[in-house]
Amino acid sequence: MLTSSSRNSFNFSVQSIENYQNLLAQNHFIYVETEDPSCDWIKFAKLVTGEDLIPQYGKDIFHVKYEPEFLKFSDARGQKPLLPHTEATDYPSPPKYLGLWCKKPADCGGGLTTLADVEGFLKTLTEAEKQKLMETQHYFGATGGVHANRTEGAVHTILSFNDNKPIFRFSCNYITHGDYSPDPDNLNPFTPDPFLAEISDRFMKYYEENHMAIRMDQYSFLLWDNQCMAHSRTTYSDPTRILERIFLG
């Protein structure tokens, strides 16, 4: 799973950055372990991606940590599992890349970040289904729940392509429940679009069978392509788990 054998700190040499860029282009993610709590992981992410930070909730860094008021929700700040999604579908231009820096992993062994490439899923769709995902404009923006009106929302297709690279904008929670962070045990009435509900069910099945799970060590960094990789997180019970998240591009 590791894409670097170094456990000291990031190597900022031109050759090293080019190697990571090649790995990111090939695998759509990189995972690096270090032993340095003060290494400049944000500089590293910028060099590898060639992109600048995008603010989230008005800040460059979002602290992914347990907050009691989110306990019962399927949310980054809760402890329940997250369903597969690409990040920030309600942004007019969702981030190209996501980066996670692990300050403190969950001692319980849970809280694994999971990833799956969407290209394999697209191969399971018919040409008509892909065409519908490419042609139909959908509104993304929660009007209820803990993320109600966090943005003005955005209208875009679920699938597009940049040359041969797929750009996928999807949230199983949002498509299925109309809420980015629902309470799985107390779901509000919602009638999803039948076509998208079927796609969501099939995508979750594909994701379950094809995802990779990464338990991030302390002072490790995970970076992935948010346009063609979906992600989720397993449940955990340790409230001291802390990650820092950045958007790029």
Q: What is the pTM of this model?
A: 0.93
Torsion angle (degrees, nearest 10) of CA 240, 102, 27, 200: 30
Position 16 scores a pLDDT of 92
Is there a contact between 62 and 98 (Cβ–Cβ < 8 Å)? no
What string of pLDDT tens digits covers the 249 residues of the chain? 444 434 557 888 889 999 999 999 999 999 999 999 999 999 999 999 999 999 998 899 999 999 999 999 999 999 999 999 999 999 999 999 999 999 999 999 999 999 999 999 999 999 999 999 999 999 998 777 777 767 888 999 999 999 999 999 999 999 999 999 999 999 989 999 999 999 999 999 999 999 999 999 999 999 999 999 999 999 999 999 999 999 999
Tokens at residue 235, please?
């449940």
Is there a contact between 115 and 214 (Cβ–Cβ < 8 Å)? yes
Position 4 scores a pLDDT of 42
Position 158 scores a pLDDT of 97
List the domain boundaries for the chain. Answer: 14-248
Position 95 scores a pLDDT of 97
Reply yes or no on domain 14-248 having CATH 3.40.50.1980: no
Which among 27, 33, 4 has a CA at the least distance from the CA of 102?
33
Q: Who contacts 190 (Cβ-Cβ below 8 Å, separation ≥6)?
A: 176, 177, 178, 179
